[in-house]
Structure 1
Amino acid sequence: MQEIINGLNGIVWCTALVFLFLAAGLFFSIATRFPQLRHLKDIRSLIFEKGDSKSEVSAFQGLTMTLASRVGIGNIAGVAAAIAYGGPGALFWMWVMAFFGAATSFVETTLAQVYKEKDMGELRGGPPFYIEKGLKLRWLAVLYAAVTVIAQGILLPPLQANTVTAGIENAFGIQPSITGGILVLVLAAIIFGGVTRIAKFAEIIVPFMAIGYIVVCFIVLGANVSEIPQMFVLIIRSALGMDATYGAMIGYAISWGIQRGLYSNAAGVGSEIFGAAAVEVSHPAKQGLVQSFAVYVDTLIVCSATGFMILITGMYDIIPNGTTPLITNLGDVEPGAVYTQRAIESVLPGFGSPFIAIAVLFFAFTTIVAYYYSAETCLAYILGEKKKIWMRNILGLLVLGAVYYGSVNTAEIGWGLGDLGIGSMGWINIIVILFLSKKAFKLLKDYEIQKKKGKNPVFDPVELGIADADYWEKEYKNIEQNNCIKNQEQ
């Protein structure tokens, strides 16, 4: 079974998929004239913009919800693997992927906002919605939703939980069954509270965990401050094949850097934008720009922090694509979180193991919460609104059971199944948004025109000729009515 899954993953996660994502990001960046750079000033204010309703998800909560899904154990173990198998230059190509991926995230998030719906008082949206309404392919939308439910609702949570309990046991000696039980209880309190409680949880935890991780990175860099220039030189030279040691690894650096960058921020996979679709904004492009910044936070900040700590302390081995070792600073150590752990231990003895265990706890736990929300949204899409209540309860119980199972058991085969699900989602979504991208381009232009006129951009789907944006047609009428009432009062 493992061989079959590995073979399928070799097909799904082939070089064509990796470079399709890179090419799509380049195309989106050029077609939109690099909004991920031009609108950085706007993004700062849009992140903290509040909606009119206290019951809806704010822009900042939407950002933290998607970061909860993006920032996970891949930001620690994934970066270590990229360096081990692709060399220091892999980190540079992760940056490249993040830069172009920010434009991809803008496109898919804007589309998710355009075609979102109101489901029992909560806003819902994502790839299934814009596949059905934008392309008129209900069967493809259901297929994508089903893959998401299986991958993020059943296969991936146990793996995140297993990483947490293993780290806690290693650092503090607490049995996995105890940690797993606590995880289930806290998780239950959050996921059965609905999207608003999930948003409030992410709003508090995500900034806390990200800032703590960055602070430790600065401590490690500060202790090795004289090595910082040499570290950047090593990254650039390795990435471009200019370093004598890594000259023959440029292909591995590009491949592993792009693939791990994609796996980390998932820009274009569609799995990270369900939370963004639930945000209350006056124009879809607003949340599209905010989510382009989320890619920066995930890869340019958190992943870079991991890479910098590993490289500046020399706590890594280089095993070109898993073949004969080229550099053995650590010896027989499997690439993963242990690289980061030892990097921190070299500066803060006795601190690395417990810190990484706690970091993984926060990273993985918030990711599980985000997985549940994505799976719940997709299941609600498949079954319909009337079956929402009992469906949420059953899915919640399945996720809780999967988390506890993963906490006390190893599930090596699950990694392959999870990769297969995410890769399948990626193939569907990236092709879909390429076909629908003109609508996102049109919305960006509309947003920019209104901004130049000094207006707060408001989306009118009828004026732009975008059909099936039912939520926005009603919302625009409400906004117009409110404006008329305000004008009459004045």
Structure 2
Amino acid sequence: MAEFLTTVNGYIWSNSLIYLCLAAGVYFSIRSRFVQVRQIPEMIRLLLHGEKSAAGVSSFQALAMSLSGRVGTGNIAGVATAIAFGGPGALFWMWAVAFLGASTSFVECTLGQIYKTRDPLTGEYRGGPAYYFSRAMAHTKAAPAFKIYGFIFAAVTVLACGLLLPSVQSNSMAAAMNQAWGVSEWVVAVGAVIVLAFVIIGGVKRIAAFASVVVPFMAVAYILLAIVIVFANASELPDVLTLILRSAFGADAAFGAIVGAAVMWGVKRGVYSNEAGQGTGPHAAAAAEVSHPAKQGLVQAFAVYIDTLFICTATGFLILSTGAYRVFEGESADGKVLADGGILPSDVAVGPAYAQNAVDTLWGGFGSTFVAVSLAFFCITTIIAYYYMADTNLRFLVGKYATTPIPVLRGTLGSNTTLVLQALILVSVAAGAVSTASEAWTLGDIGVGLMAWLNIIGILILQQPAYKALRDFERQKREGKNPVFDPVALDIKNATFWETYEPEAERTKATAKS
């Protein structure tokens, strides 16, 4: 089975997907006139001045929900893995895919807002790729094909976010805790299941509230500590930057033979970390209460920067500046050692232990504990975000039947599809914690790759409404208005939510007058 999954992963993450991610990012950047650069001030402003309502979360909460999915083991263990198998140059390609991916994130998340809907069971906003695939072309002859495409994406997302991806997070969390305190993986598995069961049963509002508190606090704490350690090794920074750039393009003799691996691992771990193009961001984006879809598109584009340019860079500099790395030939820890920073124990495993040993260089014994705690929070919030995405797509697939009892399970704890999903994701978490790292990462890469293939191809076809929304948003801003979206005026079809939408501020005024 392990060999079969590795083969499948090799086909999914072939060079074709690498080129697709990079080429799509270049194309979206050009089409949007590099919105990821032009609108940075507006991105920051929107984070601080967002709307919210009983049905939708605020822009900041939606960002926190999105970051809770993006910021996880990929920011620590993923960076370490990219450096170990792709060399220091992999960090440059993570930066490249983040910069280009911010435009991809804008397009997909704006589409998520345009074609969102209100959940008939909970009243909460729901949306994502499955929704825009099935709705955007509903007025054309291609409608049946895109509806099927939407159902395929929804099914793949339930599989990926419900079963494949959670295991990676719990595996890294268990490895970090075992490294720090010698805690059994089974103890971590049980503890994680208990915490997650409490949060995910509370629904999107509890998820948003939990993420908006935990994610910013832990991300800032982690970045600050990494900065302190990097500054303590400031004399190494020029050499680190030179090493990254030379390694990225094969100019360094030690890494010339693995320049292809640098691109592969940089893009693979970059997409895994920031999720630009994967199709996960639009789920959180659709849950936000905004008066115009482009607002949330900009906020989610900035989330890519926070994830990769801030947090992943902090990890990369932390590892490289302290010498807590080891680079292998053949993209395997069994391969020849091409470079060794000199401080890692000979038997250390590739993963979070790289960052733990790096922090220990400044505070002996503290590194393992701090990274383990940080990773625990990052991983828990990521798994919660995965559940929300899986649940959103399950609702898309089965609609009102999500809470209808399943005849063969009637009277049991898992008597409907939502509870079955909750049970499955908890089983995945427990299984991942006690699995090997290679098994967990292979499953996770398969999940990310399948979603990325489907979503990027889809948004390349459906991208036009996102640009119409961007131009409309920018026009209203130039006129000094608070942009409000009118799909009919822009000739955007099937955005039915927005055709009758009234901003929360206007609803409040109307209620007060009446």
TM-score bracket, shorter-length normalisation = over 0.9
Answer yes or no: is 1:106 the counterpart of 2:95: no
* Residue pairs, 1:196-211, within 5 angstroms: 196-211=205-220
Conserved? CA contact 1:252–1:320, under 8 Å = no
* Residue pairs, 1:320-331, within 5 angstroms: 320-322=329-331, 323-328=335-340, 329=342, 330=344, 331=346
Q: Following the alignment from structure 1 to structure 2, what is the Cα–Cα distance between the partners of residues 455 and 400? A: 46
Amino acid at match of 1:297: I
Deviation at 1:448, TM superposition (A): 0.5
Answer yes or no: is 1:157 the counterpart of 2:159: no
Amino acid at match of 1:327: A
TM-score w.r.t. length of structure 1: 0.94
Deviation at 1:424, TM superposition (A): 1.2
Of 27-36 and 185-194, more deviation after overlay is shown by: 185-194
Conserved? CA contact 1:380–1:391, under 8 Å = no
TM-aligned CA distance change 1:408 to 1:316, over 3 Å: closer
Conserved? CA contact 1:67–1:298, under 8 Å = yes
Q: Which residue of 2 aligns with 1:88?
A: 88
Aligned-residue sequence identity (percent) comes to 48
Conserved? CA contact 1:36–1:103, under 8 Å = yes
Deviation at 1:22, TM superposition (A): 0.4
Conserved? CA contact 2:176–2:353, under 8 Å = no
Conserved? CA contact 1:28–1:104, under 8 Å = yes
Amino acid at match of 1:97: V
Q: Which residue of 1 aligns with 2:491?
A: 465
* Residue pairs, 1:405-484, within 5 angstroms: 405-408=431-434, 410=436, 413-476=439-502
Deviation at 1:273, TM superposition (A): 2.4
Deviation at 1:480, TM superposition (A): 11
Amino acid at match of 1:372: Y
Deviation at 1:340, TM superposition (A): 1.1
Q: Following the alignment from structure 1 to structure 2, what is the Cα–Cα distance between the partners of residues 64 and 475? A: 24
Conserved? CA contact 1:67–1:294, under 8 Å = yes
Q: Following the alignment from structure 2 to structure 1, what is the Cα–Cα distance between the partners of residues 420 and 269? A: 33
Amino acid at match of 1:373: Y
* Residue pairs, 1:44-443, within 5 angstroms: 44-119=44-119, 120-135=122-137, 136=143, 137-322=146-331, 323-328=335-340, 329=342, 330=344, 331=346, 333-388=348-403, 390-408=416-434, 410=436, 413-443=439-469
Amino acid at match of 1:282: S
TM-aligned CA distance change 1:2 to 1:474, over 3 Å: same
Amino acid at match of 2:479: K
Q: Following the alignment from structure 1 to structure 2, what is the Cα–Cα distance between the partners of residues 414 and 248? A: 28
Q: Following the alignment from structure 1 to structure 2, what is the Cα–Cα distance between the partners of residues 379 and 432? A: 20
Q: Following the alignment from structure 2 to structure 1, what is the Cα–Cα distance between the partners of residues 95 and 226? A: 18
Deviation at 1:168, TM superposition (A): 2.1
Deviation at 1:414, TM superposition (A): 4.5
Conserved? CA contact 2:432–2:440, under 8 Å = no
TM-aligned CA distance change 1:7 to 1:286, over 3 Å: same
Deviation at 1:262, TM superposition (A): 1.6
Conserved? CA contact 1:309–1:343, under 8 Å = yes
**What value does the CA root-mean-square deviation take over the aligned residues?**
2.2
Q: 1:187-238 deviations in whole A, cap 9, x for unaligned?
A: 1221111101100000000001101111210121121122222222222222
TM-aligned CA distance change 1:243 to 1:408, over 3 Å: closer
Of 130-139 and 95-104, more deviation after overlay is shown by: 130-139
Amino acid at match of 1:353: S
Amino acid at match of 2:488: V
Q: Following the alignment from structure 1 to structure 2, what is the Cα–Cα distance between the partners of residues 311 and 412? A: 23
Q: Following the alignment from structure 1 to structure 2, what is the Cα–Cα distance between the partners of residues 402 and 84? A: 27
TM-aligned CA distance change 1:182 to 1:152, over 3 Å: same
Conserved? CA contact 1:161–1:407, under 8 Å = yes
Q: 1:375-401 deviations in whole A, cap 9, x for unaligned?
A: 000000000134347432222122223
Of 210-219 and 371-380, more deviation after overlay is shown by: 210-219
Q: Which residue of 1 aligns with 2:4?
A: 4
Of 426-435 and 212-221, more deviation after overlay is shown by: 212-221
Q: Following the alignment from structure 1 to structure 2, what is the Cα–Cα distance between the partners of residues 307 and 194? A: 35
Structure 1 gap segments, 5+ residues each: none
Deviation at 1:167, TM superposition (A): 2.5
TM-aligned CA distance change 1:52 to 1:255, over 3 Å: closer
Q: Report SS of the residue matched to 1:318.
A: strand
Deviation at 1:56, TM superposition (A): 2.2
- Aligned length in residues: 487
TM-aligned CA distance change 1:252 to 1:174, over 3 Å: closer
TM-aligned CA distance change 1:20 to 1:409, over 3 Å: closer
Q: Following the alignment from structure 2 to structure 1, what is the Cα–Cα distance between the partners of residues 67 and 509? A: 38
Q: Report SS of the residue matched to 2:118.
A: strand
Deviation at 1:99, TM superposition (A): 0.2
Amino acid at match of 1:346: T
Amino acid at match of 2:27: F
Q: 1:60-106 deviations in whole A, cap 9, x for unaligned?
A: 00001111111111111111121122221211111111000000000
TM-score w.r.t. length of structure 2: 0.90
Amino acid at match of 1:421: G
Q: 1:230-271 deviations in whole A, cap 9, x for unaligned?
A: 222222222233334334443332222222212211210102
Deviation at 1:143, TM superposition (A): 1.0
Amino acid at match of 1:126: G
Q: Report SS of the residue matched to 1:179.
A: helix
